Amino acid sequence: MLVVLGGCGVESTAEGAEPVAVVGSEAPVAAVPTPSVTKVPVRTPVTASTKPGPASKSATVTPRAVKKTVKSTVVEYATIAFKKKTVTDDQLAKGMKVVTTEGANGTRRLTYEVTYVGSVQTAKKLVKQEVSKQPRTQVTTVGTKTEEESGCDPNYSGGCVPVASDVDCAGGSGNGPEYVSGPVTVAGNDIYRLDSDNDGLGCED
């Protein structure tokens, strides 16, 4: 243990100096405060990059494709329907109808100028038309001759088959009383059985 001695006759070595204190091992020692350290964040300087980054979608501008206009020539064909015509014949039995001329359709050639924008047709203009095939009129002949006037049976044509109780082909085995030289066409009922093979013609041989 250390003892600080003081007393009379002991003077201070310096005027106004504080007495020296000897602290024993049990004397408290004042704690030295630790200075606080404030951490300052270090900012890394940003260096501008010369490498271009990905373009923003909103900033991307896609140029519109220009649609090409094309004009072309197209040829089409249209049908011309044939007409029908009826004539009379006083040499043909009354009520009989015979198509003497078969009808046939004609054809018209149409030339168009067609405009396309891209793949879409925008206009079609007729620039020329012409008849490439003339239609043929169908002619039907109607007979006007009566039985009394002709004396011929209306069931036959192409030759006069007389109206009688029986008619046979001339040169055949029939016994009449009337005969006809053929061939004749069976236009109605073969009442005299002149068409033995049923091919539409009587007295062929």
| pLDDT attached to residue 141 | 93
| pLDDT attached to residue 22 | 47
The boundaries of every CATH 2.20.230.30 domain in the chain are 67-145
Among 53, 3, 46, CA closest to 24: 3
On the CB side of 170, CA atoms within 13 Å amount to 10
d(CA 180, CA 202): 10
Q: Which of the following CATH numbers is that of domain 67-145: 2.20.230.30, 3.20.20.70, 1.20.58.1610, 3.20.20.150?
A: 2.20.230.30
| pLDDT attached to residue 94 | 78
For residue 99, give the amino acid letter.
Answer: V
Distances (CA, A) of 161 to 142, 147, 157: 19, 11, 8
* Predicted TM-score of the model (pTM): 0.40
Measured CA angle at 109 (ends 114, 84), to 5 deg: 140
Please state whether beta strands 106-117 and 120-133 pair in parallel, antiparallel, or not at all (unpaired).
antiparallel
Give pLDDT tens digits along the chain (205 positions): 444 444 444 444 444 445 444 444 455 555 555 555 556 555 655 555 555 555 555 556 667 778 899 999 999 999 999 999 999 988 887 778 899 999 999 999 999 999 999 889 999 999 999 999 999 999 999 988 775 556 788 888 888 888 888 998 888 778 888 888 878 899 888 999 898 888 888 888 7
Please state whether beta strands 120-133 and 138-145 pair in parallel, antiparallel, or not at all (unpaired).
unpaired
Query: How many beta carbons lie within 10 A of that of residue 106, not counting itself?
Result: 15
| pLDDT attached to residue 200 | 87
